Structure 1
Amino acid sequence: MACGDERCKMADGSNATKTSAPRTSLPARPAEPRRLRGEPWLATVAVLFTLAQLVLVRPDLGLGWDETVYVSQVSGHVPAAYFSAPRSRGISFLVAPIASWSDSTVLLRIYLAVLSGLALYFALRVWRGHFRPGVLALAGALFASLWVTLFYGLQAMPNYWVAIGALACVGCFLRARAKARDRAAWWGLFAGAALMACMRPMDAVYVVLPLLVLALRRPRLLAVLVVGLVAGAGEWVIEAYTSYGGLAQRLSDASAIQGGLGWHLAVVDQLRSLGGRTLCRPCTGSVPNPAVTLWWFALPLLAVLGAVVAVRARRALPVLLPGACAVTAAVPYLFLIGYAAPRFLLPAYALLALPVAEGLAHLVTAPARRAGRTLAVGLVAVGLAGHLGVQYVVLEHTVHSSAASRADWARTATALHALGVRQPCLLSGYDAVPIAYYTGCGSAQTAGHDASTSVAELTRAAHRTSFAVLAPPGRRAPAYARTWPDERVGVLRAYVAPDAQRGR
């Protein structure tokens, strides 16, 4: 083909020196590998999350009631507390590397804070192919800055780890669905499902419901997801048959302990708990100040905005799927149980953070004019700053009140030691489970959710070991202990078996 224009002459370079002005060439900057894109952002979020836990929650915070149950299962320093039907041993396995040889709460908290930061980093990293680095880092920061995330990240409790498993599982599901050769995604899908099921089996099932629906026509995806759930919940199911009378009986007992699963409108209860109540049961009192709950109402609105933006951009699934899993994860705690705890919704918060970040990013980048964009950035910045301030205030209040109750348990334990209640020993009665851990004793109850023995067995135990029954002011001791010497221990009264007092 004949060619007479200037472009053809340039193509073979014959007139290159005549038609192009001389210029100094600079060495080209190597392109950043895709796998490293956004890494500093995610690492920064994870490091700041770890440091915030250690500074704001503090590693010297004593163990809470549920924590003492989980830690005692693997502790080499105290007898294992009764393990009720709803509980799963995943968190006990997680703390075993420290709790099995050390009774230091500070060391355990530092270990969990570092581990939770690393876990957040890797769970966010899964999503790099679906969200811009800044949006993904914002999602991580939004989740990590919630007071409930900061408070429970370094605690021996399962809910944060269900959230991390959910984040990793959904992200790996999308990656494996898009690229069957991505081996890391398949292993991540299995591990995320197994982590959730190991920590809280029923939570895991609710989280993955949308994934199961999408995987119905993908046998390999479905198989890996189900195998992950079975692997994580296997120990819980086996234990159901060895210790609880079978799977159906354990599920029934777990439902009874939780007040009976069924229609319960717990939305208002969750609102009441946002003011820093770690357990709202019974959930009475007023809803916190609107400034404290405003973020909770903004959350679904921003998530919907993010979903709309994603649909318009023809990248709906990476935004809609975590939103759908967040909804199914939240349903049982909003509509099926009659009480509330803010930690129950941590998996939903982790998953909703992705569409929420997408919505916020759209707000600050959508306005075409510079003035509109500046205004949007200013409003979002002010809103986020106010949100962070509210989260800090609630966190500080929660830490202070929790530390006070745990200090009371420690003082009661010291007073019991002074009365001669020392290892090997046994406690029963009011708050016996956590106080037993602080005292170094075992615990046993004849009634309630932690009922594990009979009055006759406790009476016999009183002759064999150091034993005390705890009662709050104004409440009488059980009949078998009313003739025992009693003394005040903290705010409680301790009825100490005579055999225990002889050891003073």
Structure 2
Amino acid sequence: MGLGWDETVYVSQVGSHAPAAFFSAPRARGVPLLVAPIASWSSSTALLRVYLAVLSGLGLFVALRVWRGLFPMRVLAVAGALFATLWVTLFYGPQAMPNYWVAIGALACAGCFLRAQADRFDRAALWGVGLSAALMAWMRPTDAVYVTLPLLFLVVCVRRWWRPRLLVALVAGLVAGAGEWVVEAYVSYGGLAQRLSDGSKIQGGLGWNIAVGDQMRSLGGRVLCRPCTGAMPAPPVMLWWFALPVVAVLGAVIAVKARRGVNSLLLLACAATAAFPYLFMIGYAAPRFLLPVYILLAIPAADGLIHLLTAPRGAWRPVAVTLVTLGLAGHLAVQFVVLERTVHGTTVSHQDWADTATELHRLGVKPPCMLTGYEGVPIAFYAGCSSVDTDGHNANTTAGAIVRAGQRIPVGVLIAPGEKPPAYARTWETHRVGHLMVYVAPAVQRGGAT
């Protein structure tokens, strides 16, 4: 499938295929460290995908294993199957992206929290709380805070939940995971407040913004819905999204009657706080944003489904089994149709970047080189060049610096159809590459294309 835009940014931080891309304020260093065991010595995308697929499967197993004893094994098995067969899980599990790992950390953290609260001498659970909180903060510090808000509230504000060591483990994990991000804020971004402000601007300005409709539009396979316009997906594509919270609430009611209600209610609370910023505070959508929500709802939803299968008696039981089975079969069919369509479209767009990079090499824009302009970040990675911008979210240089670089190394400016090149590049040699126009600096003109 090739690496996506965000993936090229993360992988370039530790790989040798291309210079490190600009690391904007909202990003954290968790993903570069996650991929470093492969990306630091190999440029093979297939090898990286296999590594991440295996790792993501192990992560899901460990996160579910934490809940053994808190829920019946059949509930955990069904929960794992529900989460693992969502198209968004299958699509992002093998990708160098942070949201899946926030989801794994969220599920493990909530489970270890309940274990540590029930047994103050359970050191393994305390370590689990700290490590899973660190994993979330390592990947996305702000997401980690939202996920753990219910845990912090319980351990601080509810007397019978008060466990000093549990609070220390939770806070220490968050601090350890976010520590590098905070230090980097002061070193490279003008301070923590400035980095948070810059991150908010890049995400469109965080504030009250109902993005429920945006998330619904992304369910059809739009990996980034920005701006999020156009028609809604077909009803069968969205049905599971509405059914999941309903069945999860049903499962929580069942759990309360079975005297394990606190477990399900905690999962629902963490899912609600994790979902809040992406449903009500951001002006665009991506399906991966809600992965932590889906995994937290999976266990109570599995509990609810099993109840629907086993509660009816007599002649009603075959009817219930048939209806639930047909519903799940239809759900799986929809998930895999959306997955196949999304993978196909993504593969085509990423191949366009690779083809553009190949053509740039033919024109003489070869490493060491520099690219700027439309889709410059991923195309630069594929071409082995550095990527720069003079404005926008990835601004990291000036027009003068680009002109000076163009006198020493191959520099290309990528222009989208209908757009005009910047003033400094208007006299440069022009080439059409696919649907783009490329303006090549004088250094390449003097050396000649090869």
For CA contacts below 8 A with separation 6 or more, give which structure has more relative contact order.
Answer: 2
1:72 aligns with 2:17: no
Q: Which moved more, 1:313-322 or 1:65-74?
A: 313-322
Distance 1:206 1:422 in 2: 44
Distance 1:225 1:374 in 2: 46
Corresponding residue for 1:41?
none
Deviation sequence 1:313-339 (CA, Å, 0-9, x none): 221111111111001000000000011
Q: After superposition, where does 1:22-421 map in structure 2 within 5 Å?
A: 61-216=1-156, 217-369=162-314, 371-421=315-365
Residue 503 of structure 1: how far off its partner (Å): 4.8
Residue 77 of structure 1: how far off its partner (Å): 2.2
- The partner residue of 2:407 within 450, 463, 485 is 463
Letter in 1 for 2:14: V
Distance 1:375 1:339 in 2: 41
Distance 1:354 1:362 in 2: 12
In structure 1, stretches of 5+ residues that fail to align are 1-60
Q: Is the 8 A contact 2:120 2:163 kept in 1?
A: no
Question: SS at 1:464's partner residue?
Answer: coil
1:435 aligns with 2:376: no
Letter in 2 for 1:434: P
1:444 aligns with 2:388: yes
Taking structure 1 as the reference length, the TM-score comes to 0.87
Distance 2:418 2:150 in 1: 51
In structure 2, stretches of 5+ residues that fail to align are 157-161
Distance 2:71 2:168 in 1: 27
Distance 1:341 1:75 in 2: 26
Question: SS at 2:407's partner residue?
Answer: helix
- The partner residue of 1:484 within 425, 428, 431 is 428
Distance 2:419 2:144 in 1: 41
Distance 1:158 1:503 in 2: 42
Residue 443 of structure 1: how far off its partner (Å): 0.3
Q: Is the 8 A contact 2:431 2:437 kept in 1?
A: yes
Q: Which moved more, 1:211-220 or 1:160-169?
A: 211-220
Residue 181 of structure 1: how far off its partner (Å): 2.0
Distance 1:418 1:77 in 2: 18
Question: SS at 2:58's partner residue?
Answer: helix
Question: SS at 2:328's partner residue?
Answer: helix
Letter in 1 for 2:78: L
Residue 70 of structure 1: how far off its partner (Å): 0.3
Distance 1:249 1:403 in 2: 36
Deviation sequence 1:42-98 (CA, Å, 0-9, x none): xxxxxxxxxxxxxxxxxxx10000000000000122100000000001000000000
The share of aligned pairs that are identical, in percent, is 69
Deviation sequence 1:228-284 (CA, Å, 0-9, x none): 000000000000000000000000000010011100000000000000000000000
Question: SS at 1:98's partner residue?
Answer: helix
Distance 2:54 2:47 in 1: 11
Distance 2:375 2:282 in 1: 24
Question: SS at 2:437's partner residue?
Answer: strand
Letter in 1 for 2:357: A
Q: Is the 8 A contact 2:210 2:279 kept in 1?
A: yes
Distance 2:353 2:106 in 1: 34
Letter in 2 for 1:330: A
Q: Which moved more, 1:451-460 or 1:411-420?
A: 451-460
Residue 134 of structure 1: how far off its partner (Å): 1.1
Larger radius of gyration: 1
Question: SS at 1:340's partner residue?
Answer: coil
Deviation sequence 1:341-363 (CA, Å, 0-9, x none): 01000000000001100100111
Q: Which moved more, 1:305-314 or 1:288-297?
A: 305-314
Deviation sequence 1:119-139 (CA, Å, 0-9, x none): 111110000111111110000
Distance 2:121 2:310 in 1: 35
Letter in 2 for 1:468: G
Distance 1:300 1:351 in 2: 10
Taking structure 2 as the reference length, the TM-score comes to 0.98
Letter in 1 for 2:265: L
Corresponding residue for 1:17?
none
